[in-house]
Chains A and B, each alone.
Chain A
């Protein structure tokens, strides 16, 4: 009787065990091996000395090989595989001919570009102007990201010989068009003509064989991986002959790190060469082994402006005097120091990035610009009629009701959460009550879009070729029910928007400066947004295995140091080409 009981125990527990093993085995086999595409490189480790490890761009599985999905494609797809007609360096405001050898407006509304000869696609076929025409014509699809190009005046694209000609029916939006020149990656017509419109605008096109580009790298391994993706260098890149660019890394492995924490660990250990994550505390690690663009504060290049966005449809934020008082009460330097350890810098009162210095009218800034001054904030409030009637230290609304503004940032964005606590603290000194709140990201997007908020921090607009993108962000009209991408503050100033549209339609620096000066006059006096600080183009590199990273100290190495989407053609590819082996 004992033995049969023992047997039953054994049977029972082995039922458990067998079931468990069966589940693991079947799922494991199905999952790990079968789902990742067959690697073109050996499964054995890659040679460390000729492999570049990067991280900080990818936030999902490496499944998207569609260069038109500019928010989602695999890190490096545009820049390493697909290339645009021009590259643009914001630090020097210079366009470098890339797949095009030159381009200019031969008439007010006709643009002609000459496409480089001798460039071959990775499948051996030659690059032709027909490819450029095809690429830009995908914009005709209603859900294309640059569909706007075709609804704002582009009439037709024609090719003749080596030239591509863009003909507009009205004055073109020059500023936007210049952006397309370096942002739209050229795709091969002979491969892409088989795709349906849906596939082109929202498909992943996850076929490595059909990933045909002109760039220096090709597929290595890692499609659909959740951990890493490997690019392998190919021969025959046109830029080697033309510009002498020959990247030394044979392999570029981009790594998906779920947390900034993990990224830092691997960076310090030398497992990662370049991290484009935001790493709080990195300023304490900069030294012989870890390098950033600037060797000391602010360490990072400024990549976008963080704005305090008020909801102008709500009192008292609709009162311009209140906004000025609010702006004067914020201690941005404290945020820069305590929150960021000086890896960011305070923003110019116009909010424009340092690379657009020449468009900033300093006389306007002198005349109307705000500064941090608590006593001034108090006096503005008093003069505008905001008094503290109940002695609680905070002013009340003009009609006597409690004044309590909620300031929202996404939950989990720790640096912003700390920043708005500092803002609330410093506003308190001036008598303004601000309550920091941390809803979830999607709730925040919803509320922000529908105007259900008081104050929010936002930094959507990135560094680029023109400050027009910033003014579009500030002033665009008409307003709608759901402000999804610009003008969150719901600023309704037709004059400002008209000027912004004018700005889009000029193409020389003096003409632009004339308009930006007027725009800044409006902005600084009306203060629909309050610029706070410049977020960095986060980049920290370990010099153990690769050196000659971007740095301010050498003119040749003054390039943008990021692998972020849209940044490779703004200098990232030069960064990679300049790298030298560490030993």
Chain B
């Protein structure tokens, strides 16, 4: 077990290093000078443009050669400093990300977890009841094939424009400020429900279909027929099947993260939700290298951590993997 964890950590560390290097490099491949973009927005007078360019280039550390910028980046990273934003100069990148992150996490985590649990449960139920299967099956396929932004648009249209029961823009009422009050909490929930629903529904469909198919697959496996032949109760067989079907679903959970992140981004765009997704778009539009780097870095770290957690959980659930990894072929 220890060697497994150690090996995994080493792999993750290496992956982290490579990913961070790519993360640093990619924004710099984008054409367009961020400093010029900033100065153009300042509508500065021609006389000052030169002095301003020099000032900001120095302020962002862009006046040193690329390899030096790379080293500076790692040095700052060790101190937890992700640099200063170009677009919102002089605010630190960490501040901007920390402000936006709670909103995205508030959408993502409940959506991922609830759609996983609910989807798997309903999928398993559908696998054994034909009546339920006939409604769940087509519904699940439609939902999982629905692009996130389209579902968001439809929900916004139905509940926001036509019936006007729910708000479709922002994270809380304009007359409030964030704080630990009941008013704010209620307002937050009202604004949260639609973006959450669009992320949840698509995920739900996917997990339900996946689980249903996996259960059917398992129920057709040799051991299931064998148990049935032995006279074991159906519930017992189904319980085994469920456990076995759950394993690939958990692996799928780690893989699905990327898709859900993308979904969260477009959902935030449709609902004008002030999360990391909106921040990414604005960063790109403003060629904010440092903000982009910082966000991507956080996403990479988050995905790595999530993968690691899933790996550990997988090992805890399935003893076969532990046995498998101790001996090598």
Contact = CB atoms under 8 A, between A and B. Distances in A.
Q: Touching in the complex, A and B, CB below 8 A?
A: yes
Interface of A: 2, 5, 8-9, 11-13, 15-17, 19-21, 23-24, 27-28, 30-33, 35-36, 39, 41, 43-46, 48, 51, 53, 60-61, 63, 69-72, 142-148, 151, 202-204, 221-222, 224-228, 230, 253, 255, 257-259, 261-262, 265-266, 269, 271-272, 412, 440-443, 445-446, 449, 460, 476, 482, 484-486
Contacts of B176: 43-45
Contact of B105 (A24, A142, A148, A476): A24
A151 B47 contact: yes
B125 to A, nearest CB: 18
A33 B183 CA distance: 14
B33 A442 contact: yes
B113 interface: yes
Contact of B49 (A39, A51, A72, A485): A485
B109 A203 contact: no
B160 A5 contact: no
B169 A266 contact: yes
A143 B52 contact: yes
Contacts of B316: 8, 11-12, 15
Nearest to B89: A202
B177 A8 contact: no
20 contacts: A20-B109, A20-B113, A35-B98, A39-B177, A44-B176, A60-B282, A71-B41, A142-B55, A202-B55, A227-B174, A228-B174, A253-B174, A253-B175, A272-B174, A442-B31, A442-B34, A442-B287, A443-B32, A460-B43, A484-B44
Contacts of A2: 239
Contacts of A261: 169
B148 interface: no
A43 to B, nearest CB: 4
A19 B308 CA distance: 11
A148 B177 contact: no
B180 interface: yes
B252 interface: no
Nearest to B45: A148
Interface of B: 30-34, 36-37, 39-49, 51-53, 55, 59, 87-91, 95-96, 98-102, 105-106, 109, 113, 160-161, 164, 168-181, 183-184, 239, 243, 246, 250, 269, 272, 274, 278, 282, 284-287, 305, 309-310, 312-314, 316-317, 319
Contacts of B113: 16-17, 20
Nearest to B316: A12
Contacts of A15: 309, 312-313, 316
A266 B316 CA distance: 50
Contact of A71 (B42, B105, B161, B274): B42
Given A17-B113, A32-B102, A144-B48, A63 B88 contact: yes
B88 A60 contact: yes
Most-contacted residue by chain A among B30, B48, B161 (CB, 10 A): B48
A446 B48 contact: no
Most-contacted residue by chain A among B161, B178, B285 (CB, 10 A): B178
A9 B246 contact: yes
A445 B278 contact: no
B104 to A, nearest CB: 10
Nearest to A262: B169
A43 B185 CA distance: 11
Contacts of B314: 12
A265 B313 contact: no
A501 B32 CA distance: 32
